[in-house]
Amino acid sequence: MAAHAGSWPRRSRLAAVRPDINVTPLVDVVLVLLIIFMVVTPSLQQDVPLDLPGVFHPDPEGENAVDPIKVSMPRAGEYHLDGARYDLDGLVERLIDEHMAEPERRLVLRGDQKLKYSDVRDIMAKLQRIGFPGLNFMVGEKHGGNAPAADGAAAADKDGAGAEG
């Protein structure tokens, strides 16, 4: 009986021990991973580098069910789609195939701001004939003090028309 009584207190001491999980290292690791993904994600969007024309008040980004097809035009006569370079006829053929596969998919044209409008107009006319439901231009946002006035009051004040007599 003495051997049995001696083992009883040992069991009660083990039963009193409660394991605790320290979550601080787990939170540290999750935060480090979050920071890594935040830094790496923007560099995953590999596209043709362009100097996009800017606008002062861009429309908010709309969320579409299907991502649009992006056609990049860094120079006149040079077109990029999905990382591949095309001439105008090859691009039109590829876009016809894309449109036949997904007729509701929209098209976004990215053109360098140094391009002449006539070059952009030519490609735009051919892309519209394919029959995409929408053709959009991708632009950057301008920052600075040369923003146009929201109403005509600022322009009138510059001319002196808004000044009192």
- Answer whether residue 83 is part of any domain: yes
Q: Rounded mean pLDDT of 21-44?
A: 89
Question: Does 97 have pLDDT greater than 70?
Answer: yes
Q: What is the pLDDT of residue 70?
A: 87
Q: Rounded mean pLDDT of 23-48?
A: 86
Highest mean pLDDT among 7-16, 37-46, 93-102, 141-150: 93-102
112 DSSP 8-state letter:
-
Q: Rounded mean pLDDT of 17-34?
A: 89
Token duo for residue 85? 């370079």
- Answer whether residue 49 is part of any domain: no
- Answer whether residue 148 is part of any domain: no
Q: What is the pLDDT of residue 53?
A: 61
Q: What is the pLDDT of residue 31?
A: 96
Q: What is the pLDDT of residue 134?
A: 76
Q: What is the pLDDT of residue 67?
A: 81
For position 70, which CATH number holds?
Answer: 3.30.420.270
| Domain assignment of residue 79, given as a range | 54-59+66-141
Measured CA to CA, the distance from residue 161 to residue 165 in angstroms comes to 9
Q: For the chain, where are the E strands, in sequence order?
A: 54-55, 69-75, 78-81, 84-86, 107-111, 135-137, 140-141
pLDDT band for position 36 (cuts 50, 70, 90): very high
- Answer whether residue 164 is part of any domain: no
pLDDT band for position 32 (cuts 50, 70, 90): very high
- Answer whether residue 95 is part of any domain: yes
- Answer whether residue 137 is part of any domain: yes
- Answer whether residue 73 is part of any domain: yes
Question: Does 33 have pLDDT greater than 90?
Answer: yes
- Answer whether residue 105 is part of any domain: yes
Does the pTM surpass 0.75? The reply is no
**Count of domains for the chain:** 1
